[in-house]
Amino acid sequence: MSRLALGSLTVSPLQAALPEKEAAEVIAYAFSCGINFIDTAQYYSNYGLIRRALKLTSDPEGIVISTKTYAYSKNLAEEAVEEARRELDRDVIDIFLLHEQESYETMKGHAEAYEYLLECREKGIIRAVGASTHHVSLVKGLIRLKNEGIPVDICHPLYNMKGFGIADGGEKEMAEALSELHSMGTGIFGMKALAGGHLSISPEEALGFVLEKPFIDAVAVGMQSREEIDANVRFFRNGRFSKTDRKKLQNKKRVLHIEDFCIGCGACVRRCASGALRLTETDEINPAAYGDFTSDFTLPVSSVGDGKVYRAEADDGKCVRCGYCTRVCPVFALKIY
Ligand code: SF4
Ligand code: SF4
């Protein structure tokens, strides 16, 4: 597998929302450049794009696909596995993870789903199982599970040089836990090495920091264009970005934008694992913005219950631009540009 994994969220509906043909061509281009590892998720709604990209590829079977699900029950896990096999047009899924797990306890809460993934692994329908996370506690939880004899083949943690986005600790705590888990035989592929753009100002230092860690087997990097793929492939081959590549990366800071017509329902606040969103009181009410939604959605006054009007506000320092919150907004007020 290539150490550089293609993070597929960036071209998908939750982020750039490229037209399907264009997105599939970008993915296929990455495969043609030697990236043979792609990260996706049931939540990303992009299996169709990947299937289309695989059809454009000379060796589709040589591409390693990692996906993940929020399933907590056996039925939901079964649906997730069958959806992936059907939509990706694959009999065997290489890596299937539980998505955004937080601790030993959340893994226990998802035990039925995990057991189903392990059954599929026994049958050869899945090759490797594990979990993705923003939490040090989960990595420690995976160590505990392994000590109990439960297989954990792969961990997909958020990890970067400044610890941006790690929900319950810093870089050092995460590194210690990952190092121990890796020494027990679990493969580790990181995410958010550039912290959603916060570390793009020094991309060589940020990526180099992660890649030199002996416990990091691969790193998923979100890429939206052929240019970005070329730049990253060059970096992973020779450890350097050209001046032009570096400048483009530095200028490409994405931000989470919250539209004025946010109705303060709080769904995004509950969804954000990084604690980057909160509701703040506002005096501004634009009745026209609410008009279309009053019959279908709860007004902000009742979402908080104190008679005041709220809007979502983001703490840019905490937001890792994953785009997960955009999917839960009932009025499509959240966008990543
Ligand atoms: S994009 Fe949304 S969900 Fe992701 S870290 Fe930022 S505020 Fe949170
Ligand atoms: S989910 Fe949308 S409407 Fe609700 S608080 Fe967040 S941005 Fe506002």
68-124 pLDDT, tens per residue?
Answer: 999 999 999 999 999 999 999 999 999 999 999 999 999 999 999 999 999 999 999
Beta carbon of 268 within 6 Å of any ligand 2 atom: yes
- Return the minimum-mean-pLDDT range out of 146-150, 187-191, 311-315: 311-315
| H or E element in which residue 136 lies | helix 136-147
The protein residue whose alpha carbon is closest to atom 6 in ligand 2 is 268
> Of 234, 241, 252, 193, which is closest to residue 35 (Cα–Cα)?
234
* Beta strands at 277-281 and 310-314: parallel, antiparallel or unpaired: antiparallel
Residue 220 scores a pLDDT above 80: yes
Question: 221-273: per-residue pLDDT in tens?
Answer: 999 899 999 999 999 999 899 888 888 777 776 788 998 889 889 999 999 98
Ligand nearest to the CA of 332: 2
Residue 286 scores a pLDDT above 60: no
Residue 314 scores a pLDDT above 90: yes
Please, what CATH class does the domain formed by 256-336 belong to? alpha beta
Q: Regarding the domain with residue range 4-251, which homologous superfamily does it belong to in the CATH classification?
A: NADP-dependent oxidoreductase domain (3.20.20.100)
Atom of ligand 1 nearest to the CA of 324: 3
Beta carbon of 265 within 6 Å of any ligand 2 atom: yes
194 vs 252, which has greater pLDDT? Answer: 194
pLDDT at 59: 94
Residue 294 scores a pLDDT above 60: no
* Extents of the domains making up the chain: 4-251, 256-336
* 289 dihedral zone (left: phi>0; alpha: psi -120 to 50; beta): alpha
Q: Which letter, b or e, does each residue of 218-254 get, where b requires 16 or more Cβ atoms within 10 Å of its Cβ?
A: bbbbbbbbeebbbbbbebbeeeebeeebbebbeeeeb
What phi and psi, each to the nearest 5 degrees, are found at residue 94?
A: -65, -55
Sequence letter at residue 145 = L
The protein residue whose alpha carbon is closest to atom 5 in ligand 1 is 319
Going from the C-alpha of 166 to that of each of 18, 88, 194, the distances in angstroms are: 29, 31, 13
